[in-house]
Amino acid sequence: MPRSVRDLIEPLWYTGTATMLPTTVVARASYPAATEKASGDGSKPIDTYPDHLYVIPEGKPKASRFPVDTSKSSWEQMVLTIELELSETLVGWYRNPSSGRHALAIPYEFGDKSLLMHPDFLFFHQDGDDIVLDLIDPHRHDANDAAPKWAALARYAAEHGEGLRRVLAVIRNAQGDLRALDLRKDGIAEKVAAATNKELMEALFAADGVSY
């Protein structure tokens, strides 16, 4: 339906304190992103990467690339580097925002609250005549919201699987290795929901996950 009509209807989708029901992600006209960050008395550049759906315009430094600040999470940088190596079929990727109508948002329950989780990376690949989507979500598995977030993402993958190729949760374990868990596996949502602390989550990734 036209955006003007959607703007009238979507506020009605709120029920009390519950989050809005999932709806279509709206493509933004532009994607504001910093290319530098404060450092001491000055600034330093943020690393940029190729093939993002939104890129720095021609004529600017680092044109045709997109900045992602992974300085606080070296393993997020590793995830991005690994995924971009699949360039033979990669059409483009999207750094999913952490809020707003331009983000893919998955409802989840956390205690008595209804919240939204936002998978970090969306990678679009050519698969024959089709475009398929990989959702990759690196996340600290010692965080107390990891289990409900990933359980919700697994349920989303089961209910909305058309066009989804891979849906992976990624951690860095105690040995410093990256492990990936396929959230499309049968029964995985229940297993993830039960992994309510760091030790249980690492055990799950060790048993059901794979080296990433």
Q: Which residues, 6+ apart, have CB-to-CB distance to 92 below 8 Å? A: 51, 52, 53, 124
Q: Which residues, 6+ apart, have CB-to-CB distance to 2 below 8 Å? A: none
pLDDT digits (tens, 9 = 90+) for 143-183: 999 999 999 999 999 988 888 999 999 999 889 899 999 99
- pTM comes to 0.87
- List domains and CATH numbers for the chain: 35-69 (no CATH), 72-212 (3.40.1350)
The amino acid sitting at 103 is A
Mean pLDDT of 83-103: 89
Are the beta carbons of 24 and 104 closer than 8 angstroms?
no
Per-residue pLDDT for 15 more than 50? no
What are the CA-CA distances from residue 24 to residues 4, 58, 73, 169 (Å)?
A: 14, 30, 29, 23
